[in-house]
Amino acid sequence: MRIVDNLGKTETLRNLRLGNSYAMKKIFTFITGLLFIYTASEQLSAQSFSVAHDTVTVTNPSGMVFLTDEITPASTAVTVQWKVISSDFPADWITATGICDNNLCYNLSSLWPSGALKVSSPYAATADFHLQVNLDPATTLGCYYVKVRMNDQAIPADTAIEVFKVCKTHPTGTTTVIKSTSDVVLYPNPATDEVNVVFDANADVKNIAIYNIIGKMMSVYKVNGNSANMSLDNMPGGIYFVRLVNSQGNIVATKKFTKQ
Protein backbone atom coordinates (compact mmCIF):
# COMPACT_ATOMS: atom_id res chain seq x y z
CA MET A 1 0.00 0.00 0.00
CA ARG A 2 2.79 2.42 0.75
CA ILE A 3 4.35 1.70 -2.59
CA VAL A 4 1.06 2.47 -4.32
CA ASP A 5 0.59 5.58 -2.22
CA ASN A 6 4.06 6.78 -3.05
CA LEU A 7 3.52 6.12 -6.74
CA GLY A 8 0.27 8.07 -6.62
CA LYS A 9 1.90 10.98 -4.89
CA THR A 10 4.72 10.96 -7.42
CA GLU A 11 2.22 10.95 -10.28
CA THR A 12 0.28 13.77 -8.68
CA LEU A 13 3.42 15.88 -8.21
CA ARG A 14 4.42 15.24 -11.82
CA ASN A 15 1.00 16.34 -13.04
CA LEU A 16 1.20 19.46 -10.91
CA ARG A 17 4.58 20.33 -12.36
CA LEU A 18 3.30 19.78 -15.90
CA GLY A 19 0.26 21.88 -15.15
CA ASN A 20 2.37 24.69 -13.70
CA SER A 21 4.69 24.57 -16.70
CA TYR A 22 1.76 24.78 -19.11
CA ALA A 23 0.27 27.66 -17.13
CA MET A 24 3.58 29.54 -17.17
CA LYS A 25 3.82 29.07 -20.94
CA LYS A 26 0.30 30.46 -21.33
CA ILE A 27 1.16 33.47 -19.17
CA PHE A 28 4.40 34.06 -21.08
CA THR A 29 2.58 33.88 -24.42
CA PHE A 30 -0.07 36.31 -23.17
CA ILE A 31 2.52 38.83 -21.94
CA THR A 32 4.49 38.54 -25.19
CA GLY A 33 1.32 39.26 -27.15
CA LEU A 34 0.59 42.34 -25.06
CA LEU A 35 4.12 43.62 -25.58
CA PHE A 36 3.81 43.10 -29.34
CA ILE A 37 0.49 44.97 -29.48
CA TYR A 38 1.90 47.82 -27.36
CA THR A 39 5.04 48.10 -29.50
CA ALA A 40 3.00 48.10 -32.71
CA SER A 41 0.66 50.78 -31.37
CA GLU A 42 3.62 52.89 -30.29
CA GLN A 43 5.13 52.65 -33.76
CA LEU A 44 1.85 53.72 -35.33
CA SER A 45 1.32 56.62 -32.92
CA ALA A 46 4.87 57.99 -33.27
CA GLN A 47 4.84 60.05 -36.45
CA SER A 48 7.94 59.94 -38.61
CA PHE A 49 7.45 63.59 -39.68
CA SER A 50 5.50 66.72 -38.77
CA VAL A 51 4.32 69.93 -40.44
CA ALA A 52 4.83 73.31 -38.82
CA HIS A 53 1.21 74.46 -39.26
CA ASP A 54 -2.13 72.79 -39.92
CA THR A 55 -3.38 75.87 -41.78
CA VAL A 56 -1.55 78.73 -43.53
CA THR A 57 -3.60 81.81 -44.47
CA VAL A 58 -2.98 84.97 -46.49
CA THR A 59 -5.38 87.88 -47.09
CA ASN A 60 -5.42 90.26 -50.05
CA PRO A 61 -2.37 88.91 -51.87
CA SER A 62 -0.51 91.22 -54.20
CA GLY A 63 1.88 89.89 -56.81
CA MET A 64 3.31 86.40 -56.37
CA VAL A 65 2.56 85.20 -52.83
CA PHE A 66 4.05 82.19 -51.07
CA LEU A 67 2.12 80.37 -48.33
CA THR A 68 5.03 78.56 -46.77
CA ASP A 69 5.05 75.64 -44.38
CA GLU A 70 7.83 73.28 -43.35
CA ILE A 71 8.15 69.50 -43.09
CA THR A 72 10.39 68.15 -40.32
CA PRO A 73 11.47 64.47 -40.08
CA ALA A 74 11.25 63.00 -36.58
CA SER A 75 14.63 61.26 -36.79
CA THR A 76 15.72 59.68 -40.06
CA ALA A 77 15.09 61.07 -43.55
CA VAL A 78 11.49 60.80 -44.74
CA THR A 79 10.19 60.60 -48.30
CA VAL A 80 6.75 62.23 -48.33
CA GLN A 81 4.06 61.38 -50.85
CA TRP A 82 1.19 63.84 -51.11
CA LYS A 83 -1.87 64.83 -53.08
CA VAL A 84 -4.58 67.50 -53.10
CA ILE A 85 -7.69 65.91 -51.59
CA SER A 86 -10.04 68.90 -51.89
CA SER A 87 -10.11 72.49 -53.14
CA ASP A 88 -12.67 75.14 -53.97
CA PHE A 89 -10.29 77.49 -55.82
CA PRO A 90 -12.12 79.23 -58.71
CA ALA A 91 -11.03 78.45 -62.25
CA ASP A 92 -9.24 81.79 -62.67
CA TRP A 93 -7.22 81.07 -59.48
CA ILE A 94 -6.20 77.52 -60.35
CA THR A 95 -4.09 78.45 -63.37
CA ALA A 96 -2.16 80.95 -61.24
CA THR A 97 -1.47 78.50 -58.39
CA GLY A 98 1.31 76.00 -57.82
CA ILE A 99 2.28 73.65 -54.99
CA CYS A 100 5.92 72.80 -54.34
CA ASP A 101 7.67 70.16 -52.26
CA ASN A 102 11.45 69.96 -51.88
CA ASN A 103 11.73 68.39 -55.32
CA LEU A 104 9.43 70.08 -57.86
CA CYS A 105 6.58 72.57 -58.30
CA TYR A 106 3.27 71.54 -59.88
CA ASN A 107 0.43 73.67 -61.24
CA LEU A 108 -2.78 73.15 -59.27
CA SER A 109 -4.61 72.23 -62.49
CA SER A 110 -2.50 69.05 -62.67
CA LEU A 111 -3.22 68.17 -59.03
CA TRP A 112 -6.94 68.87 -58.73
CA PRO A 113 -9.48 67.42 -59.33
CA SER A 114 -7.33 64.52 -60.55
CA GLY A 115 -5.91 63.84 -57.05
CA ALA A 116 -2.56 63.02 -58.66
CA LEU A 117 -0.05 61.52 -56.21
CA LYS A 118 3.36 63.21 -55.98
CA VAL A 119 6.55 62.10 -54.23
CA SER A 120 9.11 64.40 -52.64
CA SER A 121 12.83 64.02 -52.36
CA PRO A 122 13.87 62.70 -48.92
CA TYR A 123 13.41 65.30 -46.17
CA ALA A 124 16.64 64.82 -44.21
CA ALA A 125 16.05 68.02 -42.20
CA THR A 126 13.41 70.74 -41.89
CA ALA A 127 12.62 71.97 -45.40
CA ASP A 128 10.06 73.87 -47.43
CA PHE A 129 6.59 72.83 -48.62
CA HIS A 130 4.51 75.68 -50.00
CA LEU A 131 1.69 76.97 -52.17
CA GLN A 132 2.43 79.89 -54.48
CA VAL A 133 -0.23 82.00 -56.14
CA ASN A 134 -0.47 85.16 -58.24
CA LEU A 135 -4.01 86.54 -58.11
CA ASP A 136 -3.36 89.93 -59.70
CA PRO A 137 -4.94 88.82 -63.03
CA ALA A 138 -7.84 86.97 -61.30
CA THR A 139 -11.24 88.65 -60.96
CA THR A 140 -13.01 86.27 -58.56
CA LEU A 141 -13.15 87.55 -54.97
CA GLY A 142 -13.62 85.63 -51.74
CA CYS A 143 -11.88 83.12 -49.45
CA TYR A 144 -10.96 79.70 -50.82
CA TYR A 145 -8.80 76.77 -49.74
CA VAL A 146 -6.62 73.90 -50.91
CA LYS A 147 -6.31 70.82 -48.67
CA VAL A 148 -3.30 68.51 -49.03
CA ARG A 149 -2.89 65.03 -47.55
CA MET A 150 0.68 63.86 -46.86
CA ASN A 151 2.08 60.56 -45.66
CA ASP A 152 5.40 58.85 -45.12
CA GLN A 153 5.92 56.77 -48.27
CA ALA A 154 7.13 53.87 -46.11
CA ILE A 155 4.20 54.13 -43.67
CA PRO A 156 0.91 54.87 -45.49
CA ALA A 157 -0.96 55.26 -42.18
CA ASP A 158 1.45 57.99 -41.02
CA THR A 159 -0.45 61.03 -42.34
CA ALA A 160 -0.74 64.79 -41.94
CA ILE A 161 -3.22 67.29 -43.37
CA GLU A 162 -2.18 70.75 -44.61
CA VAL A 163 -4.67 73.51 -45.52
CA PHE A 164 -3.72 76.61 -47.52
CA LYS A 165 -6.33 79.39 -47.34
CA VAL A 166 -6.31 82.50 -49.52
CA CYS A 167 -8.68 85.47 -49.20
CA LYS A 168 -8.96 88.15 -51.87
CA THR A 169 -11.51 90.76 -50.81
CA HIS A 170 -10.70 93.53 -53.27
CA PRO A 171 -9.22 93.49 -56.78
CA THR A 172 -6.26 95.75 -56.24
CA GLY A 173 -4.58 93.87 -53.38
CA THR A 174 -2.60 95.68 -50.69
CA THR A 175 -0.44 98.72 -51.29
CA THR A 176 3.22 98.71 -50.29
CA VAL A 177 5.91 101.28 -49.75
CA ILE A 178 8.15 99.65 -52.35
CA LYS A 179 6.68 100.68 -55.70
CA SER A 180 9.09 98.86 -57.99
CA THR A 181 12.17 96.66 -57.93
CA SER A 182 14.23 99.78 -58.59
CA ASP A 183 13.65 100.62 -54.90
CA VAL A 184 15.71 97.53 -54.00
CA VAL A 185 19.49 97.32 -54.45
CA LEU A 186 21.08 93.86 -54.75
CA TYR A 187 24.81 93.34 -55.05
CA PRO A 188 27.11 91.83 -56.20
CA ASN A 189 25.46 90.42 -59.28
CA PRO A 190 26.76 87.98 -60.46
CA ALA A 191 27.53 86.72 -56.94
CA THR A 192 29.82 84.01 -55.62
CA ASP A 193 29.72 83.48 -51.84
CA GLU A 194 27.10 85.97 -50.65
CA VAL A 195 24.61 88.57 -51.78
CA ASN A 196 23.51 91.84 -50.14
CA VAL A 197 20.08 93.46 -50.34
CA VAL A 198 19.26 97.07 -49.38
CA PHE A 199 15.69 98.46 -49.35
CA ASP A 200 13.48 101.19 -47.85
CA ALA A 201 13.34 100.86 -44.06
CA ASN A 202 9.62 101.80 -44.11
CA ALA A 203 8.68 98.94 -46.44
CA ASP A 204 7.63 96.59 -43.59
CA VAL A 205 9.95 93.86 -44.88
CA LYS A 206 10.11 91.01 -42.36
CA ASN A 207 11.64 88.15 -44.34
CA ILE A 208 13.85 87.76 -47.40
CA ALA A 209 13.87 84.40 -49.19
CA ILE A 210 16.01 83.01 -51.98
CA TYR A 211 14.31 80.72 -54.53
CA ASN A 212 15.79 78.81 -57.41
CA ILE A 213 14.45 79.00 -60.94
CA ILE A 214 11.82 76.25 -60.39
CA GLY A 215 10.45 77.98 -57.28
CA LYS A 216 12.14 75.90 -54.57
CA MET A 217 13.06 77.89 -51.45
CA MET A 218 16.81 77.68 -50.83
CA SER A 219 17.05 79.87 -47.70
CA VAL A 220 15.09 82.47 -45.74
CA TYR A 221 16.27 85.29 -43.47
CA LYS A 222 14.46 87.37 -40.87
CA VAL A 223 15.04 91.08 -41.36
CA ASN A 224 15.59 93.98 -38.97
CA GLY A 225 16.34 97.37 -40.49
CA ASN A 226 16.80 98.00 -44.19
CA SER A 227 19.41 95.51 -45.35
CA ALA A 228 20.41 91.86 -45.30
CA ASN A 229 23.56 89.87 -46.02
CA MET A 230 22.81 86.34 -47.25
CA SER A 231 25.18 83.42 -47.64
CA LEU A 232 25.09 81.40 -50.85
CA ASP A 233 26.99 78.42 -49.42
CA ASN A 234 25.82 75.02 -50.69
CA MET A 235 23.89 76.60 -53.57
CA PRO A 236 24.94 75.48 -57.06
CA GLY A 237 25.62 78.01 -59.78
CA GLY A 238 22.57 79.31 -61.61
CA ILE A 239 19.76 81.87 -61.63
CA TYR A 240 17.99 82.76 -58.36
CA PHE A 241 15.31 85.13 -57.14
CA VAL A 242 15.33 87.18 -53.93
CA ARG A 243 11.83 87.89 -52.63
CA LEU A 244 11.10 90.49 -49.97
CA VAL A 245 8.06 89.58 -47.85
CA ASN A 246 6.13 91.93 -45.55
CA SER A 247 4.39 91.24 -42.22
CA GLN A 248 1.18 90.16 -44.03
CA GLY A 249 3.06 87.48 -45.98
CA ASN A 250 2.90 89.42 -49.25
CA ILE A 251 5.85 89.77 -51.61
CA VAL A 252 6.64 93.47 -51.97
CA ALA A 253 9.59 93.10 -54.36
CA THR A 254 11.55 90.50 -56.31
CA LYS A 255 15.11 90.73 -57.63
CA LYS A 256 16.92 88.27 -59.87
CA PHE A 257 20.61 87.42 -59.58
CA THR A 258 23.08 84.87 -60.87
CA LYS A 259 25.46 82.79 -58.78
CA GLN A 260 28.69 81.87 -60.53
* CATH code: domain of residue 151: 2.60.40
Same domain, 54 and 155: yes
In a domain, 232, yes or no: yes
> Does 220 or 108 have the greater pLDDT score?
108
pLDDT per residue as tens digits for the range 67-104: 988 999 998 999 999 999 999 999 989 988 999 999 99
Q: What is the mean pLDDT of residues 218-234?
A: 88
79 dihedral zone (left: phi>0; alpha: psi -120 to 50; beta) = beta
Closest CA to 175 of 97, 244, 246: 246
**Which has the higher per-residue pLDDT, 54 or 247?**
54
Per-residue pLDDT band at 137 (split at 50, 70, 90): confident
- Count how many residues are written for the chain: 260
Tell me, what's the pLDDT at 140?
A: 83
DSSP H stretches of helix in 77-154: 91-94
State the pLDDT at residue 39: 44
User: What is the pLDDT, as a whole number, of residue 99?
Assistant: 95
Sheet-wide strand order for 227-231: 185-187, 194-198, 227-231
Phi, psi of 199 (to 5 degrees): -150, 175
Q: Using an 8 Å Cβ cutoff, are 158 and 48 in contact? A: yes
Residue 198 has pLDDT above 80, yes or no: yes
For 5-59, how does the pLDDT look when each residue is reduced to its tens digit (9 = 90+)?
Answer: 554 555 555 554 555 555 555 555 555 555 544 444 444 446 899 998 899 988 8
Do 53 and 142 share a domain, yes or no? yes
Other beta carbons less than 10 A from residue 21's beta carbon: 10
Domain assignment of residue 39, given as a range = 1-46
Residue 176 lies in a domain: no
**Is there a domain that residue 175 lies in?**
no
pLDDT number for residue 170: 57
Strand pairing partners for 71?
A: 51, 127
- In angstroms, the CA 6 to CA 217 distance is 86
Q: Using alpha carbons only, give the angle 110, 111, 114 rounded to the nearest 5 degrees.
A: 90
Confidence band of 106 (pLDDT split at 50, 70, 90): very high
Mean pLDDT across the chain: 80
Q: Is 188 found in the same domain as 101?
A: no
Q: Check whether residue 107 and residue 164 sit in a common domain.
A: yes
| Helix or strand (DSSP H, E) at 152 | strand 142-152
Q: Is residue 79 part of a domain?
A: yes
Answer yes or no: do 96 and 124 share one domain. Answer: yes
- Give the pairing of strands 238-246 and 251-259: antiparallel
Same domain for 198 and 220 = yes
